[in-house]
Structure 1
Amino acid sequence: MADDSTAAISKVQMDDGVQLNVKILGEDSMHTKPLLIALHGAPGLSTLAEPVESFGFLSDRFRVLVYDARGSGDSDSIGPFDPDRWTKDIENLRMWASADKFVLAGGSYGAFVALDYAVRHGDRLCGLILRAGWTVGKVGSMTAVANILKSKRVKPDAARQVRLWSGTLHSDKDFEDAIMEILPIYSPPRVSSSDDQSESADFKGTLIFHSKIQNTAFGENMPRFDVRNQLQDIKAPTLVLVGRHDYATPVSGSKEIADGIPNSRLEIFENSGHSPSSDVPERSREVVSYFVKVRGLSKRSPKANGDAT
């Protein structure tokens, strides 16, 4: 795996003037390697540190572009924070990176953003990697709350969890309390209870809580998210990943995604929770590497015809 610990951070301006915090792992000046854009989850909380851990190992074969979504990390917290805008941001970054087609990867909420992009701009994708998602926002959110509240591994405040997953949080502190009280369920059960606090890739690094972004994502976007009837139109080779012990986005959701996308493969990690890249890193990398190799995705290097934005 290439060492990209010193890869430079760029501030890339979107068409509406918003600046996004962007990093490219495995950059080469001649763009001989194809582009892979990897999206993080947990809007208003997670950062590019998550996709760096999940997909950075591919930087010897791809230019791996990771970024803080608007409203997260060091990117501007200027809206809108809706599917149209997040899709446009991906398009801006694709053009900035001078790629006509690319591989798109997304985990957790990033999987929802990736699915939105895939049904709108499927012709731009030569591959799609989805980790921990579902097909219907309302059903998925309610299922997550139910699974969390019936879990014996945590004892969260029920009303606060409803606020978290319905996008009706009172404040940034309310957001922080809601996440911190359920952190153990994002990892698989361990033999020793002292190991039950392992850190999911979604929550790596310094956590900064922006409840406004979470409320928009789950209070406005999720109720309208339903891609069941559009999955059949996604033609890109697709890899769907999920942990057997994922309470937030259970196996049933990923199975529905894989069943709906014609050219897809489902991989269930039996010893993982919400984040296989953290729980079973070697196996996770093996599965993703095999998919990339078999589909020939790292051999393609199409470039954009237009100017970068």
Structure 2
Amino acid sequence: MELVINGCRLNVEVYGPEDGPVLIAHHGGGGIGSLAEPKSTFGPLADRFRVIVFDARGCGLSEGIAPYSHEQWAADVDALRQWAGVEKIVVAGGSYGGFIALEYVVRYPDHVSAIVLRDTSADGSNLELAIENARNQDRVEIHWDNFNRYWTGNIYDDDDLKARWAEIIPLYDYEYDPAASMARVEAGIYRHEAHNWCFQHNWDAYDVKPQLPSVQVPTLVTVGRRDWVTPVSSSETIAGLIPGSELVVFEKSGHSPQFEERDEFQRVVRAFLDRAVPAPATV
């Protein structure tokens, strides 16, 4: 469905019982992401949760109305919460979507019941680690001019974004499958304006570490052992700052344990949510 959220038409899909606790999941990859990933990841929870997934403004099939800032994307999540008619939500996000989930938590703490994070960071320092990891790998030859344009938000157009993504996608998996990677590239929707905004305007200002010790809701932090771009250390930082949070490292995953170790990932998330947001007792 299309919903007008804060003056912007968003592509939104809703699953699960209308009276279930609401989970809103933000996709990763500002400019290269869409609701397809969180739909696959959190859709199975629709047996108990009202799962809301959407293309962020400027991404996927949603309208492109700037700004594509963390503040605006978090405000759009809260407007979706209001549209759903609930006071509190489980907020979830992976990769860049984890940035927005954390931004939502620190900006709208009274409206969060639990947090699910996957392969993300509390600030932009992971990019320094990612560059070092890219230099030290031998899976693919890095075209450094293209690599630097990608990570500084100097992409020319949507086709350029797709081509640059195709060059670095081999770095993301635990075990590289060229055919599967290219299939993901072809299935993507590319929006270079939002991508460029992320790295030209958002990146240097992003740092929620000072606010994380005040987070008072159950939090699950997950990460793949061989994640090159948001390494385990980034998740350890988050888990170390949020009181009582749970950290789970998936030993046979890169950046996407929700796919690479799907059954175990589903088990971990469901078990966490059963503890954090228990189902009402039946009479």
Aligned-pair identity (%): 39
Tell me the distance in 1 between the aligned counterparts of 2:279 and 2:67: 34
Deviations 1:90-119 (A, max 9, x none): 111001111110100001000000011101
| 2:141 is aligned with 1:150 | no
Following superposition, the deviation at residue 123 of structure 1 comes to: 1.3
Following superposition, the deviation at residue 222 of structure 1 comes to: 1.0
Pairing of 1:98-247 with structure 2 (within 5 A):
98-137=85-124, 139-189=125-175, 195=177, 198-199=180-181, 203=184, 206-247=187-228
Tell me the distance in 1 between the aligned counterparts of 2:278 and 2:95: 23
Tell me the distance in 2 between the aligned counterparts of 1:96 and 1:266: 31
Deviations 1:231-284 (A, max 9, x none): 101111000010001111110000100000002000000001111111010000
> For residue 63 of structure 2, what is the aligned residue in structure 1?
76
Structure possessing the higher relative contact order (Cα contacts under 8 Å, 6 or more residues apart): 1
Whether the aligned pair in 2 keeps the contact of 1:12 and 1:22 (CA below 8 Å) is yes
Tell me the distance in 2 between the aligned counterparts of 1:290 and 1:88: 29
Tell me the distance in 2 between the aligned counterparts of 1:118 and 1:13: 23
> For residue 12 of structure 1, what is the aligned residue in structure 2?
3
Deviates most, 163-172 or 256-265:
163-172
Tell me the distance in 1 between the aligned counterparts of 2:252 and 2:279: 28
The 1:36–1:204 alpha-carbon spacing in structure 2 relative to 1, beyond 3 Å, is farther
Q: Secondary structure at the match of 1:75?
A: coil
* Aligned pair partner of 2:36 in 29, 32, 49: 49
Equivalent AA in structure 1 for residue 79 of structure 2: N
* TM-score normalized by the length of structure 1: 0.86
Following superposition, the deviation at residue 146 of structure 1 comes to: 2.4
> For residue 307 of structure 1, what is the aligned residue in structure 2?
none
Tell me the distance in 1 between the aligned counterparts of 2:167 and 2:55: 24
Tell me the distance in 2 between the aligned counterparts of 1:248 and 1:143: 7
Following superposition, the deviation at residue 298 of structure 1 comes to: 4.5
Identify unmatched segments of 5+ residues in structure 1: 1-9, 301-309
Give the root-mean-square deviation of aligned CA atoms.
1.9
Tell me the distance in 2 between the aligned counterparts of 1:24 and 1:298: 20
The 1:177–1:35 alpha-carbon spacing in structure 2 relative to 1, beyond 3 Å, is same
Equivalent AA in structure 2 for residue 209 of structure 1: Y
> For residue 271 of structure 2, what is the aligned residue in structure 1?
290
- Point out 4+ residue stretches in structure 1 off by more than 3 angstroms: 195-201, 296-300
* TM-score normalized by the length of structure 2: 0.94
Whether the aligned pair in 2 keeps the contact of 1:200 and 1:274 (CA below 8 Å) is no
Whether the aligned pair in 2 keeps the contact of 1:128 and 1:237 (CA below 8 Å) is yes
Whether the aligned pair in 1 keeps the contact of 2:172 and 2:256 (CA below 8 Å) is yes
Following superposition, the deviation at residue 199 of structure 1 comes to: 4.5
Tell me the distance in 2 between the aligned counterparts of 1:98 and 1:293: 22
* Aligned pair partner of 1:37 in 20, 24, 29: 24
Deviations 1:109-139 (A, max 9, x none): 00000011101111111100011111221x2
The 1:173–1:55 alpha-carbon spacing in structure 2 relative to 1, beyond 3 Å, is same
Q: Determine which structure has the larger helix proportion and give its number.
A: 2
Q: Secondary structure at the match of 1:104?
A: strand
Identify unmatched segments of 5+ residues in structure 2: none
Deviations 1:269-305 (A, max 9, x none): 00011111110100000100110112234449xxxxx
Tell me the distance in 2 between the aligned counterparts of 1:161 and 1:296: 41
Aligned residue pairs total 281
The 1:213–1:298 alpha-carbon spacing in structure 2 relative to 1, beyond 3 Å, is farther
> For residue 252 of structure 1, what is the aligned residue in structure 2?
233
Whether the aligned pair in 1 keeps the contact of 2:227 and 2:255 (CA below 8 Å) is yes
